[in-house]
Chains A and B, each alone.
Chain A
């Protein structure tokens, strides 16, 4: 199946630090979505991106749709303990969604 390479796989950061993660593919996507999943829960939609180059914010979260349409980036500023969880990217080709394998974020108080 389609491969979405998400990196890093895991991150351990101090509270207050900024976080960056990304998702790349060899294929072009029309839409990028970013989700957060807490333990024992379903993924929750954070940000949706629909156009190449688009930069969208949701509070301390900012995501960008790469201009090549093959990648997307998520940044979290001034991390707090409740940011802990697994962050997934999802890309839509026009026919189907594909999900990355997730970035596990641990925030150390």
Chain B
């Protein structure tokens, strides 16, 4: 299907575990983004990528790692999950300034 997808949609993990959230887009957009959404904070940028093999930090990058070996994929890895990383994570893509969001991944760290 065309568009932007995220997997898994829901994930429960334990403190200290590594977890990877996947994002895939079929539009061949150059830019991809990872946000987290928490009550009272709105959407905060974690990392973004302007093209394959080019990534940069956003507002809240600590504890996260990204890679972009292919234009269509932009996985987000929590190397050692902490309870403060419990959140809803959204991936987005854009070619110009209009960002299109995926359905989100709800992550709970116990």
Q: Is A48 at the interface (CB under 8 A from chain B)?
A: yes
**Interchain nearest-CB distance for A53 vs B (Å):** 18
Known contacts A42-B104, A43-B90, A96 near B97 by CB under 8 Å: no
Contact with B along A47-89 (1 / 0, CB 8 A): 0101000000000000000000000000000000000000010
| Contact-residue bracket for chain B | 10 to 19
> Which of chain B's residues have a CB closer than 8 A to the CB of A100?
42
Complex partner residue of B42 from A45, A48, A50, A102, CB under 8 angstroms: A102
Q: Is A108 at the interface (CB under 8 A from chain B)?
A: no
Known contacts A42-B90, A88-B43, A101-B40, A31 near B97 by CB under 8 Å: yes
Q: Is B59 at the interface (CB under 8 A from chain A)?
A: yes
Complex partner residue of B101 from A44, A101, A102, CB under 8 angstroms: A44
**Interchain nearest-CB distance for A89 vs B (Å):** 10
> Which of chain B's residues have a CB closer than 8 A to the CB of A90?
43, 99
**Interchain nearest-CB distance for A41 vs B (Å):** 6
Q: Is A105 at the interface (CB under 8 A from chain B)?
A: no
Q: Whole-angstrom distance between the alpha carbons of A101 and B43 in the complex?
A: 7
A48, B98: Cβ atoms under 8 Å? Answer: yes
The listed residue with most B CB atoms (<10 A of its CB), out of A43, A50, A102, is: A43
Task: Please report B residues at the A interface, Cβ cutoff 8 Å.
Answer: 35, 40-45, 58-59, 90, 92, 97-104
12 inter-chain pairs at a CB distance below 8 angstroms, sorted by A residue, are A33-B99, A42-B92, A42-B102, A42-B103, A42-B104, A43-B43, A43-B101, A90-B43, A90-B99, A97-B99, A101-B41, A101-B42
Q: Could you list 10 further interchain pairs (A-B, Cβ under 8 angstroms) beyond the known A31-B97, A43-B43?
A: A1-B59, A40-B103, A41-B104, A42-B92, A88-B43, A90-B43, A96-B45, A97-B99, A99-B43, A101-B42
